[in-house]
Structures are given as C-alpha cells and as structure tokens.
C-alpha cells in the first residue's frame, strides 16, 4: 500500500522550507484562497465542503459541512482552530503546524469567507513551542502580503488571526474547555446544553471549532472540487487521513493514506511490521481514549464506521501497537494515569474516580491486588460510565472520565486472565 | 403570564413554569432530588453530579443533571430508578473516598448535607483502601474564616458566591483534577464584607468561622427567627443559642429582602452579648464616680423629678431601639407634656429626605424590575451592604446602573455610567447640567427608575441631592428609596413625629430648655462629629440619664446609667426597614444581670411617678404603634406571627421629619462611616474587633502631594488634639479632599468646620528630635 499525499505533499517536496511563504507560494499556495475570495461565493464553498463528505479529524468525526451549516446567525462569529493536539499517540497536527502552516492559514481564509467570519483563533497546545513559533511567523508573513488583515487580496473582505498558546492541559482539546481557556478562564468544559459552540461559543457568540487537519484539507478540496475529494477513500470515510503510527513497530511516524485498508496491511507495509517479528497482543486504533482491539482483529478496516462497528473509534488517527510481551495492566495504568492527571476536577466521578482507578491498577500491577479488585475496577468504571457501553454513557459533563474507562473495559473484557494472574491467590478478600 | 408545562416525574403528573430547572420544578412538587453544588441563588454549574436523573430522550433514557436541565412539556423523568440510585451511590462514594470523615469533631455534623445525603442515598460502606488526600488543616483564609480543604467537596458554592453575588472573587479553585483545591490568592486574604455567607452555604464543614467553631452541636441549638437591626435593610435572620448564650446568626432566605445573605457585621456583631463588660447594674454619679445603685432608687429619684410638671424633659434616642421602645418614649413624652415636642435621633446624616404625596417610594424588589437604578448616597457597600448585593443582582439581571459621587467606588465597577469627580465637586455638588448629559438621559428618560438617594456626608448640602431628585422626577418614572443608613431609623420615622437629627440637637438643646435628658442607646460624644459641642451641652444639663449596653464616653458624664437589654436576641418587638417593611424582632437569650428593655424601664418609671399609663405591656405598645393602620394590614404581633407574614408587612408611610439642614462651613474634610468601626459592641465582639480598629484617612492625590505624604502615616492635629493615622491615596477623589471615617475613637473629635493640620510623620519625628 502507498501513501496519497494531499496535505503532506508540500512538506515532502520541500523539506527545507515548506513552512515559509515563498516556498508555499511557489507551489501555487494561496492561489485557491485568492480565487475563492475574488471569484467564489460563501454558498459555493459550503457546497464543495458538503460534496467532499469530509468528516472532522479531531476525533468525533462529525461531518464538517453539516457543522458549518449549524453556525447561528450573528454579527460576530468566530472560527477557532483546535490545535491543542494532546491525545496520547497523536502527532499529526504537529507536522501540519510546524511544516505547512500556510496551508492551514489558507484553509482558514477560505473557511472564514464561507462562514462570514472576521476573526479566527488558532489555539495551540502549550508544549508545541516550535509549531507555535512557525504558525506565528506564517501569520505575520500572510499579514505582510495582505492575505490577512483588512481588504485581503484587495477585496472588501477582512480577516484577523490570533495565535494563542495553551498552558498545558489536555482538557483544553475539548472544544468548550478550549473556549474557556481562550477567554482566560479555567480550562473546564462548559455545560451542553446550553453552551453549544455553534450557538453560544467564544464570548457567547456563535463559534466554529475545527481541527487543524480538517481545515488544512480545505484548500485541496476547493482547488480540486468536493467531488474529487469524495472519490478518495471509501464511503463514510472520504479523503486522506494522516495516521500517527507508534508503539512496537519498525517504522513509527505519520502516514497520509486513503481510508479503507486494514490496520494489519498498514502496519505490515508502511509500518514495516512489528519490531523483532513479534506478534501483536493488542492495539489502540484511535488514540488513548479508544477501546483496544486484540491482535487477532488486525483485519478491521481503517474507516470511521468500521472501527465504530467494532465498538471503538478511529478518533484522532493514533494507532499504537502493543506486542506480545507487553504488560497490558501497566499499559492500561499508564493511560489511566494520564487521564487522572488531566481531569479538570469539575465533576466528582471523573475527579475522584480516575485517580481511584489509577490506584487500584497500580496495586494490581505491583502485585498487591485483591480478588475483589476485579469487580471493584469494573464497578468504579460503571459509576463513571454507566453500563460500560460503547459509545460511552457518562455521569460527567465531558467524555474525559469515560475515556479513562476504555482501556480498563478492554483489559477486563479481552485480557481478564492476564489481570487475574497478577493477583496473589493467597489473599482472599 | 406564560403557560405552564406538564411533565411526568416518577409516574406523577406535575406542572411547572417553563424555563424552570428540573430540580426546582421537582422541589416545588415535593420531589426531593439530592444535590451539593446546586443553590437556588447561584448559577448552576452541574459539577457535583449528585442530582443526576433519568430523562427519556429520542435516544432512550439518559442520565442528566437536573440542576442544569430545563423542564419541557411532556418530559418524562425518573428520579428513583435503579440507574439513578446507582449513580447517586457512586457519586457519594466518590465524594467520601477522600473526605476525612472527621464528623465527631466537625462543626457541620448534625446539619451537614454530606452527612444527611450519605445516610439517605449513600452506599453504606466504602471500598476505598488507599491513603486519603491530605491537606494542612485548617488554614486561616481571613481573620474570621477558616478553610479545611480535606473536608471540601469542591462544589464551587463559595467561589460562585464571591464571584457572582458579592463581586469580590478572592476565593477560587487552584490546581486541577484530584489535586483541585479551593484557596485564596497569595498574600490576598478572603477579606470580604460577605465572607460569612460562604460558611453558611458550604455543604460540608470545609469553611468555618472563628466565631462559631467548636462552640456547639447543631442538635443542642435553640433557634428563632428575627430581623437584623444593624442597618435599615432589615435582613431576615435566624438566631442560634446554646445554654442561654447566643452563638450564631444565619441569614434567612427572604425573597423580597436579603435572599438568605447577610453582611459579616450583621452576622458576627453579636458576640458582645456574652461580654463580661456588659452593664448589668444601674449606676449613679456620686462624687464624680459612677457607683452601683438599686433600680428602685433610680425610679424613685427620677419620679420625684418628673412629678414636678415644670421639669423640662428631652430625648436623644439611638437608632437601634424597637418600634415598641420608640412608642414607649412617645407615650411617656405625651403624658408629661401636651405641647408638641421633638425627638432627637442619634444620626448626623438625618435630613428631610424625599417623602410626600407626589413621591412614590420604592421597595427593594423594585430594583430588579426597574430599567435603571440611580444611586447617590453614602457608599452602600459600607452602609447598606445587603442592599448593595441586591443592586449587584439587579445589574447582573440586566438593569442599568448610574452612580453619582466620588465616594461610591464600590459600585463604579458595575455601573453603566459612573459620574465621579468630573461630575461631582469636592463639595458634593453636581457640576454639570444633567439635562445635557447624554448617557444619563439615554438611560433614564421616560424609563422606570429606582433612585437611591441620601447624603454622602453631613457636610453635603440638601440642595445638591435635591437637584438630582428633581431631574429624575421630571424626566423619568421614578421611585425613591431614601438611603438613611442607621438601624431602625424607619421605625423611628413611623412612630415618632417631628424627628430631628444630631445637628438640631446641638442647635436646640441647652440647659434653658432641658432639665432632664434621656440618652438612649447612643454615644454621641464617642461617635458623632458633634462630639465636643454635645459634651458641653451634656455637662451643662442638670440631670442626664443614659440607657445602654456598655459604658461609653457619654454615659461616663451621665447622672444615671441604666443597663438595658440588647435589641439583638434579648428583646421582642418590631423593626421597620428601608421600604417600610415591618417584621419581628425576637428574643432568644435571657438578658443579663438587671438589664431590662427600654420600654420596661420607661413604663416602670411612669408608674413610679404616678402617671397615667395606657401601655403597660409590650402588646399594648405594639398595638399603639400601629393604631392608625387598617387592623388586618397592620404589623401587630398577631398578624406578623402568621406564617404568610413572616417576611414582614409593608405599610408605606410618609414620615414628618423636622430635621434642618446642616449649615456648617465646608472644609476640605468630609466624614463618613465604614462598615466596621470600634464602637462598644464592635470592640466586645471578638470576631470583628480587629476589623474596624485601624485608624486611617483617605486623601486625594493632590493632598498627598501638597503635604508630602510618603511614609504611610501622618498626624492629624487641631488645637490640643493629635491623632496618628495611616492614609490611603484615593484616586477617585477630586482635588483637595480628605475623608475621615468617624466611627473610630478620637477621629470624631475634630471640629470639621475648621482647618485640621496634616503633618507627615517624618516631619513630626524631626520636630520631636529638635
């Protein structure tokens, strides 16, 4: 299998200077935005996006065209680019920010034109210092060229972009927490209802929140047409997608491919197979929040719907391989630790429950487990995510708490023996 | 009126107003949903997750927080399903895993929502075997509030109160996740006038007050509902005592008045009741010393005096008496003299105000329904703190606010228009033509306005406030709330005719017209700005009788001192608030020693003197107070004690105030009072004794410059008097203005109509060295 380069073409072709405006423009950069502003109409752009059937690349996979259509009418509306890429295993937005920031800016210009937005914000993960620097530089270059600011491309369209750095919180990737953080408040998810961003978002104004990869795809879609994009990939998962492959593989990294091939094929070809020719014990198909697949499920297709039908999610496209030697209890514990550390602390079940789960897993992993812990683990999970079903139900405001439950239910459903084997049999409590 | 919606809760059909939250709609129909973070008076946050209920949706039954979900028609809700019960047990188990469970030493135990709901909805046992979360316990977050972060369940009630209600967000969440804690900012204590409310609404024992900590168990407390007589807002309160000692005051949610809130002064200024320094026996001045005397001897000696119909008697009455006390003095006065007479109220800010047939008086609740509120008065946060909260609430609900005066900084942050020093001169006169000011005209012209009007300082001319009143009266549909700020002033208005203030007292009273002067619950020498003049008047009068709780500068010059019961907790009676709402003052603890109510003293005295007494009991006085009102609407005890009237009864009244204008020279000094001072009751209330003890002045920038104030303190000097004070530069003051808070000892002793010298302390030191 081969990569299909739409979003990563410029950075592959021009590894030295793909982030600079001259290099970007040499390869027809900003020509689509210019054409759009001067010749197209907002409705036409929205039609193309709808025709492309692109679904959001942030994790939830919501159809982008539909999302744009939901945006409530108001004099002030905002676009917020969610560049708070923090899902463990995900590092695709990083290269888009760092190595092709102008592609994102061009996408923002087209999106704002379509949605009649005059101010956009790029909220970048606090730890992404270099990507943030590159994006800031790119925004400044675009202003100098007159592609941003007043009367862009000589038209009567105005657009400002503000680059904002987060302060190191995973939860700010949740769109309403991101908006709170952007407003200078604590990064805590808002109540939905009533605070749906498309109606009451940033500063209580209608706000479009989109992922970096989604908006970076916009220039290609508009240049080549939504229909062309729709031809790539498979129905329900059109276009290309950048998968971040990591774990026990020979060639970890970002790969832009059309959706539709199997995880097994992806790992064997582009990923170069599992290290030391080991077998896969389990793998994560879409970031740390996603329930795991077993090693015998490698033939599942890499599409949003196929993964969902198998009770997990393609999420942010982070594929993590765990070979046969992996201690899965430790693996689950490190994921749960992450979520416990990143819980915002608002909701009781998440604040208290995730840390408790971490403590129980730690006891089991270190040989201090009790037989009653097996049921306890699942019941604590149940109190965070009632019924332990997929997609998860929740007793919390946002899905962070239930995300910590995913690896544990995978562990207990598919690898229960491995957990039990760590519990000393003499201790009967 | 909007239409009702019908919903089905647990199989029962209930009706609710639309836009109500599910938790409220259920509560109204008698279905209780457990909760921690939700509070009727705070914006919902949906954080504790205790109020989860199942609601049927197109996608099946969903668990939703009932505190953030609005009712809708045909909604089907289950608050008791197995899924709901499991979620409730789960949340309680989560809340308890890190809770210290130190109920045996916790003040909240016995009235603790966490304890109660754990009993009702909890899992019964804990499965948590790990180490609990630890914090230093407890930490002082202000002089009067302690925080135990181990007990805290992070419901955000305290943080929301201080952010949304009191507007001083000094207490906040820090850290995140499992490490989240409530705390104050570094070097910024929780110095709020309203901090006690957070203790009251804390659903666990995390916030406690130094005042009540370890004093009692809730099940040992006796309680009674009463009215706070600290200022004319008249907050509804609950008094708590144990073993005949008053231990705590809580705010009661009176929707029309205080909505459950109180200021800290009202909440903690009761500790003096238990002070050993209380006056407990009558005293008589003998050889320049006050010595104990039997009360019968006081009666018989004064009775002799009164029997002589030529004796000229006058009264200076404090503002903390009950309406019945005022009536007792009125009846006494009427009995001994048929001629029209004046009563003097211990208030240097008393002026004629805005009353009369053509003026519509406002109720506190009118603030919420107005288009705009216009304020020109003393700083309301200092003087009518809970009314200040109600203004904040109205503004939060979208009512516009116009504030006049450079001394009203505390409202300037939320005012739509703030007319400070550019508009109001150092003499408190409006500098510009209001009819030409665009902003105010836009907000008030033709609109419904509530005007809160009062004088900012005794030295302000009546004319300047009148000018604003007339502008509003002719341009807007205005209602007026006269902002007198002392205790039961409105009760005095309602019961005493020809009421005058201290300014008139100084001008009117002399030994020529007064042989016998009663000073009741007042220390004009120690407190008022007329200190020196009143001192010489009192010295000149033949017989002065002081009635009070403590000895003070005025009582020390009196011929007789009678110990009286405190209106707070030791008396029954009625109180009338700023909107002429009369409500019950009730008694919970016995009055110490030989103390007695003012009305008991004066009635006994009348009997001793052989005068005709028509009002021999409290009930008689109570009836007499409202005899002119329609009996079904009058706030007599029988009516007030009906459950429907517990919040008080309004009888709008147009008082006849005989106060004349203060014509003193204006100087660069103006006086006022801060919330906390160092009066006898405040000095003897441990919790607040340190809060009002600091002597300070506020100066304009130009004054600081002119007098070379650099060292942080200076000396005020006039004649023989020298007082060292710290100073704060107040940028909102016009040039050449100095503010002196006179509710601090010594600071009221200056003659404010003459120049007072300001000497920087470094200069003074240099002088001393030489």
If DSSP codes are grouped into helix, strand and coil, which group holds residue A131?
helix
User: Which pTM value belongs to this model?
Assistant: 0.95
If DSSP codes are grouped into helix, strand and coil, which group holds residue B298?
helix
* Domain range annotation of chain B: 5-80, 283-350+489-650, 361-380+389-482, 669-769
| Cα B404 from Cα B471, distance rounded (Å) | 13
C-alpha to C-alpha distances, B622 to A64, B388, B633, B648, nearest whole angstrom: 73, 31, 14, 15
What's the confidence (pLDDT) of residue B357? 87
State the average pLDDT for chain B. Answer: 94
Sequence-ordered list of residues with C-beta below 8 angstroms from that of B512, at least 6 positions apart, any chain: none
The answer to whether the CB atoms of B49 and A355 lie below 8 A apart is no
| Cα B348 from Cα B530, distance rounded (Å) | 8
Helices (H), B98-202: 113-121, 157-160, 196-201
CB A88 within 8 A of CB A338: yes
The answer to whether the CB atoms of A383 and B173 lie below 8 A apart is no
Report residue A360 CA to chain centroid gap. Answer: 29
Per-residue pLDDT tens for A306-316? 999 999 999 99
E-strand spans in A202-329?
A: 207-211, 233-234, 237-238, 240-247, 253-258, 280-284, 293-294, 318-323
- Burial pattern B546-576, b for ≥16 Cβ within 10 A else e, equals bbbbbbbbbbbbbbbbbbbbbbbbbbbbbbb
What's the confidence (pLDDT) of residue A426? 62
What's the confidence (pLDDT) of residue A188? 97
Taking domain A233-323, whether its CATH number is 3.10.20.600 is answered by yes
pLDDT band, residue B662 (cuts 50/70/90): confident
CB B98 within 8 A of CB B132: yes
Ranges A132-136, A407-411, B62-66, B744-748: which has the least confidence: B744-748
The answer to whether the CB atoms of B178 and A343 lie below 8 A apart is yes
| Cα B206 from Cα A103, distance rounded (Å) | 52
What's the confidence (pLDDT) of residue B46? 96
The answer to whether the CB atoms of B178 and A382 lie below 8 A apart is no
CATH of domain B5-80: 3.10.20.740
pLDDT band, residue B339 (cuts 50/70/90): confident
CB B510 within 8 A of CB B482: no
pLDDT at A428 over 70: no
The answer to whether the CB atoms of B154 and A351 lie below 8 A apart is yes
Which among B44, B52, B176 is the nearest to A345, CB-wise?
B176
Torsion angles phi and psi, residue A319, rounded to 5: -105, 120
pLDDT, mean of residues B326-349: 90
The answer to whether the CB atoms of B63 and A396 lie below 8 A apart is no
> How far separated are the first and last CA of chain A, in Å rounded?
53
- Cis peptide preceding A193, ω within 30 of 0: yes
- Write out the residues of chain B at the interface with chain A, using a CB-CB cutoff of 8 A: 44-50, 52, 62-63, 68-70, 83, 86-87, 89-91, 93-95, 97-98, 127-128, 130, 153-154, 173, 175-180
| Cα A191 from Cα B306, distance rounded (Å) | 73
Inter-axis angle of helices B295-307 and B598-608, nearest 10: 60
pLDDT, mean of residues A195-213: 96
| Cα B340 from Cα B362, distance rounded (Å) | 30
CB B78 within 8 A of CB B54: yes
CATH topology for the A328-420 domain:
de novo design (two linked rop proteins) (1.20.1440)
Q: By CA distance, what is B97's nearest residue in A?
A: A352
* CB neighbour class for B162 (10 Å; exposed up to 12, middle 13-18, buried from 19): buried
Residue B723: closest CA among B751, B692, B747: B747
* Domain range annotation of chain A: 9-231, 233-323, 328-420
| Cα A212 from Cα A254, distance rounded (Å) | 15
Looking at CA atoms only, how far is residue B165 from chain A in angstroms?
A: 18
Bridge partners for B13 per DSSP? B8
pLDDT, mean of residues A107-130: 97
Residue B714: closest CA among B723, B701, B706: B723
Q: Which residue in this structure is represented by tokens 């969902």? A: A308
Per-residue pLDDT tens for A43-72? 999 999 999 999 999 988 999 999 999 999
Report residue B689 CA to chain centroid gap. Answer: 17
| Cα B97 from Cα B768, distance rounded (Å) | 65
Torsion angles phi and psi, residue B543, rounded to 5: -130, 125
C-alpha to C-alpha distances, A244 to A134, A287, A366, nearest whole angstrom: 21, 9, 31
pLDDT band, residue B240 (cuts 50/70/90): very high
pLDDT band, residue B409 (cuts 50/70/90): confident
CB A147 within 8 A of CB A30: yes
Looking at CA atoms only, how far is residue B506 from chain A in angstroms?
A: 56
Which among A344, A372, A395 is the nearest to B177, CB-wise?
A344
pLDDT at B113 over 70: yes
Residue B32: closest CA among B109, B113, B94, B92: B113
- Cis peptide preceding B566, ω within 30 of 0: no
Q: How many CB atoms lie within 10 A of CB B607?
A: 14
Per-residue pLDDT tens for B627-637? 999 889 999 99
| Chain A interface disruption, residue of B21, B42, B94, most A CBs within 10 A | B94
pLDDT band, residue B767 (cuts 50/70/90): confident
If DSSP codes are grouped into helix, strand and coil, which group holds residue A238?
strand
Q: Which residue in this structure is represented by tokens 């009775």? A: B303
Sequence-ordered list of residues with C-beta below 8 angstroms from that of A379, at least 6 positions apart, any chain: none
Backbone Cα Rg of chain A: 22
What's the confidence (pLDDT) of residue B341? 79
Query: Number of C-alpha atoms within 13 angstroms, CB side, residue A206?
Result: 18
pLDDT band, residue B10 (cuts 50/70/90): very high
Per-residue pLDDT tens for A367-403? 999 999 999 999 999 999 999 999 999 999 999 999 9
What's the confidence (pLDDT) of residue B236? 98
pLDDT at B252 over 90: yes
| Contact residues, chain A, for B149 at CB < 8 Å | none
C-alpha to C-alpha distances, B317 to A329, B414, B517, B524, nearest whole angstrom: 79, 37, 10, 10
pLDDT exceeding 90 applies to what percent of chain B? 88
pLDDT at B87 over 90: yes
| Chain A interface disruption, residue of B67, B99, B150, B176, most A CBs within 10 A | B176
Which among B49, B63, B154 is the nearest to A393, CB-wise?
B63
E-strand spans in B17-138?
A: 52-57, 60-65, 75-78
Per-residue pLDDT tens for B719-757? 999 999 999 999 999 998 999 999 999 999 999 888 899
Ranges A136-145, B130-139, B454-463: which has the least confidence: B454-463
What's the confidence (pLDDT) of residue B85? 97
pLDDT at A429 over 70: no
pLDDT band, residue B667 (cuts 50/70/90): confident
pLDDT at A2 over 60: yes
Given the DSSP bridges, would you call strands B499-500 and B343-345 parallel, antiparallel or unpaired? Answer: parallel
What's the confidence (pLDDT) of residue B127? 95
Supply angle C-alpha B97, B100, B101, rounded to 5.
95
| Contact residues, chain B, for A362 at CB < 8 Å | none
Q: Which architecture does CATH list for A9-231?
A: 3-Layer(aba) Sandwich (3.40)
Torsion angles phi and psi, residue B766, rounded to 5: -60, -40
Q: Which architecture does CATH list for B361-380+389-482?
A: 3-Layer(aba) Sandwich (3.40)
* CB neighbour class for B222 (10 Å; exposed up to 12, middle 13-18, buried from 19): middle
Which among A191, A351, A386 is the nearest to B68, CB-wise?
A191
pLDDT at B1 over 60: no
- Write out the residues of chain A at the interface with chain B, using a CB-CB cutoff of 8 A: 169, 171, 186-187, 191, 193, 340-349, 351-356, 359, 363, 372, 376, 382-384, 386, 393-397
Q: How many CB atoms lie within 10 A of CB A204?
A: 13
CATH of domain B283-350+489-650: 3.40.50.740
SS3 content of chain A, % helix, strand, coil (to 5): 45, 15, 40
pLDDT at B770 over 60: no
pLDDT exceeding 70 applies to what percent of chain B? 99
What's the confidence (pLDDT) of residue B8? 97
Given the DSSP bridges, would you call strands A293-294 and A280-284 parallel, antiparallel or unpaired? Answer: antiparallel
Which among A342, A383, A396 is the nearest to B177, CB-wise?
A342
* CB neighbour class for B109 (10 Å; exposed up to 12, middle 13-18, buried from 19): middle
Q: So what CATH class is B669-769? A: mainly beta
Helices (H), B122-211: 157-160, 196-201
Given the DSSP bridges, would you call strands B516-520 and B499-500 parallel, antiparallel or unpaired? Answer: unpaired
Given the DSSP bridges, would you call strands B236-242 and B245-251 parallel, antiparallel or unpaired? Answer: antiparallel
CB B19 within 8 A of CB B70: yes
pLDDT at B659 over 90: yes
The answer to whether the CB atoms of A355 and B177 lie below 8 A apart is yes
pLDDT at B672 over 60: yes
Q: By CA distance, what is A341's nearest residue in B?
A: B177
If DSSP codes are grouped into helix, strand and coil, which group holds residue B189?
coil
Per-residue pLDDT tens for A174-193? 999 999 999 999 999 999 98
CB B564 within 8 A of CB B548: yes
Bridge partners for B546 per DSSP? B519, B561
Sequence-ordered list of residues with C-beta below 8 angstroms from that of A385, at least 6 positions apart, any chain: A392, A393, A394, A395, A401, A402, A405
CB–CB contacts below 8 A, A to B: 98
pLDDT band, residue B308 (cuts 50/70/90): confident
The answer to whether the CB atoms of A383 and B93 lie below 8 A apart is yes
């Amino acid at each position: 299998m081969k990569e299909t380069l739409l979003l990563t073409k410029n950075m592959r072709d021009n590894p030295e200077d793909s982030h600079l405006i001259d290099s970007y423009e040499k390869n027809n950069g900003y020509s689509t935005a210019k054409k759009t502003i001067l010749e197209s109409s907002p409705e036409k752009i929205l039609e193309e996006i709808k025709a492309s059937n692109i679904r959001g690349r942030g994790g939830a996979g919501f159809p982008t065209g539909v999302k744009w259509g939901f945006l409530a009418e108001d004099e002030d509306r905002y676009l917020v680019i969610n560049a708070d890429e923090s899902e463990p295993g995900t590092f695709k937005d990083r290269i888009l920010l760092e190595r092709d920031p102008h592609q994102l800016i061009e996408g923002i210009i087209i999106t704002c034109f379509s949605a009649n937005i005059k101010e956009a914000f790029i909220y970048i993960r606090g730890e992404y210092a270099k990507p943030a620097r590159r994006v800031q530089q790119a925004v400044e270059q675009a202003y100098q060229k007159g592609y941003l600011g007043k009367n862009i491309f000589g038209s009567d369209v105005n657009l400002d972009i503000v680059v904002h750095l987060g302060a190191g919180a995973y939860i700010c990737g949740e769109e309403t927490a991101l908006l709170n953080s952007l407003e200078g408040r604590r990064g805590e998810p808002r109540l939905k209802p009533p605070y749906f961003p498309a109606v009451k978002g940033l500063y209580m104004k209608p706000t479009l929140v989109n992922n970096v990869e989604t908006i970076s795809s916009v220039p290609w879609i508009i240049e080549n047409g939504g229909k062309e994009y729709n031809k790539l990939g498979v129905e329900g998962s059109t276009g290309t997608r950048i998968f971040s492959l990591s774990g026990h593989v020979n060639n970890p990294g970002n790969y832009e491919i059309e959706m539709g091939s199997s995880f097994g094929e992806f790992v064997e070809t582009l990923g170069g197979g599992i290290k030391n020719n080991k077998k896969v014990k389990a793998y994560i198909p879409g970031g740390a929040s996603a329930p795991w697949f077993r090693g015998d499920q490698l033939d599942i297709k890499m599409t949003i719907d196929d993964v969902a039908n198998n009770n997990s999610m393609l999420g942010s496209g982070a594929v993590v391989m765990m070979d046969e030697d992996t201690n899965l209890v430790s693996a689950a514990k490190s994921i749960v630790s992450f979520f416990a550390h990143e819980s915002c602390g608002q909701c009781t079940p998440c604040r208290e429950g995730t840390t408790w789960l971490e403590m129980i897993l730690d006891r089991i992993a270190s040989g201090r487990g009790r037989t009653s812990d097996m049921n306890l683990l699942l019941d604590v999970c149940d109190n965070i995510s009632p019924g332990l079903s997929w997609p998860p139900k929740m007793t919390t405001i946002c899905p962070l708490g239930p995300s910590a439950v995913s690896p544990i239910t995978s562990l207990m459903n598919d690898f229960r023996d491995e957990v039990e084997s760590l519990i000393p049999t003499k201790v009967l409590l | 009126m909007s239409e009702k919606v019908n919903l089905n809760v647990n199989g029962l059909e209930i009706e609710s107003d639309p836009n109500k939250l599910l938790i409220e709609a259920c509560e109204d129909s008698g279905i209780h949903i457990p909760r921690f973070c939700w509070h009727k008076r705070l914006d919902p946050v949906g954080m504790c997750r205790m109020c989860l209920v199942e609601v049927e949706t197109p996608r099946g039954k969903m668990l939703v927080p009932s505190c953030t979900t609005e009712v809708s028609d045909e909604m089907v809700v289950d608050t008791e399903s197995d899924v709901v019960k499991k979620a409730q047990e789960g949340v309680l188990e989560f809340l308890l895993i890190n809770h210290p469970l130190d109920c045996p030493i916790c003040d909240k135990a016995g009235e603790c929502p966490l304890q109660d709901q754990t009993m009702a909805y909890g899992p019964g046992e804990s499965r948590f075997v790990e180490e609990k979360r630890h914090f230093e316990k407890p930490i002082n977050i202000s002089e009067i509030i302690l925080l135990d972060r181990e007990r805290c369940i992070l419901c955000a009630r305290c943080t929301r109160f201080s952010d949304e209600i009191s507007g001083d967000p000094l207490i906040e969440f820090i850290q995140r996740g499992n490490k989240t804690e409530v705390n104050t900012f570094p070097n910024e204590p929780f110095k709020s006038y309203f901090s006690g409310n957070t203790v009251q609404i804390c659903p666990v024992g995390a916030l406690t007050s130094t005042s009540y900590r370890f004093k009692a168990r809730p099940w040992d407390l006796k309680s009674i509902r009463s009215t706070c007589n600290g200022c004319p807002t008249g907050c509804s309160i609950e008094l708590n005592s144990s073993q005949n000692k008053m231990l705590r005051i809580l705010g009661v949610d009176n929707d029309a008045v205080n909505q459950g809130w109180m200021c800290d002064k009202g909440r903690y200024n009761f500790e003096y009741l238990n002070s050993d320094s209380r006056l407990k026996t009558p005293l008589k001045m003998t050889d320049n010393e006050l010595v104990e005397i039997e009360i019968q001897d006081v009666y018989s000696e004064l009775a002799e005096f009164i029997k002589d119909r030529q004796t000229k008697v006058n009264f200076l009455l404090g503002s903390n008496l009950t309406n019945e006390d005022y009536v007792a003095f009125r009846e006494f006065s009427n009995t001994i003299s048929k001629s029209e007479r004046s009563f003097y109220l211990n208030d240097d800010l008393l002026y004629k105000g805005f009353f009369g047939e053509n003026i519509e008086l406002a109720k506190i609740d009118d603030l919420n329904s107005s288009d705009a509120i216009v304020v020109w008065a003393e700083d309301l946060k200092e003087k009518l703190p809970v009314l200040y909260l109600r203004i904040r609430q109205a503004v939060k609900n979208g009512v516009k606010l116009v504030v006049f005066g450079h001394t009203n900084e505390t409202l300037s942050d939320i005012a739509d228009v703030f007319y400070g020093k550019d508009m109001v001169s150092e003499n408190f006169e409006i500098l510009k033509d209001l009819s030409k000011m665009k902003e105010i005209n836009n907000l008030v012209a033709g609109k419904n306005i509530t005007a809160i009007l009062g004088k900012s300082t005794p030295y302000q001319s009546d004319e300047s406030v009148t000018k604003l009143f007339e502008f509003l009266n002719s341009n807007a549909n205005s209602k007026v709330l006269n902002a007198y700020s002392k205790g039961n002033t409105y009760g005095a208005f309602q019961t005493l005719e020809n009421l005058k203030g201290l300014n008139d007292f100084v001008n009117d009273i002399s030994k020529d017209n007064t042989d016998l002067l009663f000073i009741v619950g007042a220390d004009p020498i120690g407190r008022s700005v007329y200190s020196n003049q009143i001192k010489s008047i009192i010295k000149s009068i033949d017989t002065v009788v002081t009635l009070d709780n403590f000895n003070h500068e005025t009582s020390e010059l009196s011929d007789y001192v009678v110990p009286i019961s405190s209106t707070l907790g030791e008396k029954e009676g009625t109180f009338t608030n700023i909107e002429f709402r009369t409500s019950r003052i009730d008694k919970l603890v016995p009055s110490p020693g030989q103390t007695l109510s003012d009305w008991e003293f004066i009635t006994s005295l009348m009997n001793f003197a052989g005068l005709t007494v028509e009002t021999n009991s409290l009930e008689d006085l109570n009836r007499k107070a409202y005899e002119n009102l329609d009996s079904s609407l009058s706030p007599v005890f029988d009516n007030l004690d009906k459950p429907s009237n517990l919040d008080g009864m309004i009888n709008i009244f147009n008082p006849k105030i005989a106060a004349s204008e203060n014509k003193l020279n204006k100087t660069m000094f103006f006086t006022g009072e801060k919330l906390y001072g160092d009066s006898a009751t405040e000095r003897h209330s441990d919790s607040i004794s340190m809060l009002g003890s600091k002597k300070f002045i506020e100066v304009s920038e130009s004054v600081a410059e002119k007098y070379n104030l650099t060292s942080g303190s200076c000396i005020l000097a006039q004649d023989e008097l020298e007082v060292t004070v710290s100073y704060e530069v107040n940028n909102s003051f016009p040039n050449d203005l100095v503010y002196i808070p006179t509710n601090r000892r010594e600071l009221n002793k200056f003659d404010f109509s003459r120049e007072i010298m300001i000497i920087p302390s470094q200069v003074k030191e240099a002088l001393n060295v030489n």
